[in-house]
Amino acid sequence: MKRASDRSERPRLRDRMSRSRSGFSGFRGRLRARGRLDDEAWDELEETLLLADVGMPTATMLLDQVKARAAADRVGDAEALPALLESEIANVLHAGTDRSLRRASSGPSAWVVVGVNGVGKTTTIAKLAAREVDDGHRVLLAAADTFRAAAADQLVHWADRLGMEIVRAQEGADPGAVAFDALEAAVSRGVDVVLVDTAGRLHTKTNLMEELKKVLRIVERTPGALQEVLLVLDATTGQNGLAQARDFTEAVGVTGVVLTKLDGTAKGGIVLAIEAELGVPVKLVGLGESVEDLVIFDPIEFAAALVGANEDAD
């Protein structure tokens, strides 16, 4: 991971999502060529949304809203569609919601990071920790992924590199015990933020979800500590992402989504479905390999990056 010298050098969503716009830019080109706002233009719009992994129910909903807007505003020009779509997407994503991570008024704030295998939980924790350290907070890592071979080693590597404290246990140890030790250490050492890494688990595995609930119960034993349960979601995930969000929310009350690997390739349209159907806000997005590439999610920027209505003027 590279580190930029200045926070102001943070990358912008639009620059990094260039590839994901290509589907839409082809779509914009075809709309320009068509000119008239006919059935085929609407089919094009639907297909483009589906290709971005938005999913059928949410695509239909968006389509209906854009249609209504187009009718109300007497829009007859196909070229006007992208701008309408952009603002409807921003609407679905409740632009204006506060997406900052919550902190305890006193004592340590525990942020527990959960998700299926391979979505980038450990890397997200490293980036999040680096941000916090940069902001002058005292951070403690809890390596509660005791299942994956060498997962704790991966976290120790980051702790060493960023000069942070870490609580870990043997492979195969009880993750609840790690969480307990971490919270106890955090309270006694006056730590500001405890980042709890958990093992990746498929949301369909009941016993593993039970294990996760137990970890959460243990964190909750320190009054006021549990502030965020962050579900990490790979931006290349398709409709299964909705099932992941639903099941994790049901089990452990997810408070926010971290959308990773949005750098250049994926579309992450599934977060539209997640916000629309479950009301779980996206809080952070991962845009690349370096520590600075984890940024607060901005719905308006996301909509612009996804559709790029103003791109053609650039």
Interacting residues with another protein (CB under 8 A)? 19, 47, 50-53, 55-56, 116-120, 147-151, 153-154, 157-158, 171, 202-206, 234, 236-241, 243-244, 261, 263-267, 269-270
CB of 114 to another protein, least distance (A): 15
Length of the chain: 314
Are 5 and 55 contacting, i.e. CB atoms less than 8 angstroms apart?
no
Measured from the CB atom, the residue of 3 and 157 that comes closer to another protein is 157
CB of 208 to another protein, least distance (A): 9
CB of 110 to another protein, least distance (A): 24
Measured from the CB atom, the residue of 131 and 267 that comes closer to another protein is 267
What SS3 class is residue 226? Answer: strand
Measured from the CB atom, the residue of 65 and 239 that comes closer to another protein is 239
Measured from the CB atom, the residue of 183 and 291 that comes closer to another protein is 291
Are 234 and 120 contacting, i.e. CB atoms less than 8 angstroms apart?
yes
Residue 36 is classified by DSSP as: B
Are 280 and 256 contacting, i.e. CB atoms less than 8 angstroms apart?
yes
| CA angle 106–109–114, rounded 5-degree value | 165
CB of 287 to another protein, least distance (A): 11
Measured from the CB atom, the residue of 97 and 206 that comes closer to another protein is 206
Pairwise CA distance, residues 58 & 81, whole Å: 17
Report the DSSP pairing between strands 256-260 and 226-234: parallel
CB of 108 to another protein, least distance (A): 25
CA-nearest of 29, 32, 27 to 49 is 27
Measured from the CB atom, the residue of 242 and 280 that comes closer to another protein is 242
Measured from the CB atom, the residue of 91 and 239 that comes closer to another protein is 239
CB of 310 to another protein, least distance (A): 23
CB of 231 to another protein, least distance (A): 14
Pairwise CA distance, residues 56 & 51, whole Å: 10
Pairwise CA distance, residues 209 & 225, whole Å: 21
CA-nearest of 228, 214, 226 to 175 is 214
Measured from the CB atom, the residue of 19 and 102 that comes closer to another protein is 19
Q: Positive or negative, the Cα torsion across 298, 267, 49, 204?
A: negative
CB of 144 to another protein, least distance (A): 16
Q: What is the full DSSP assignment across 41-110?
A: HHHHHHHHHHHTT--HHHHHHHHHHHHHHHHHTT--BGGGHHHHHHHHHHHHTTTT---SPP--SSSPEE
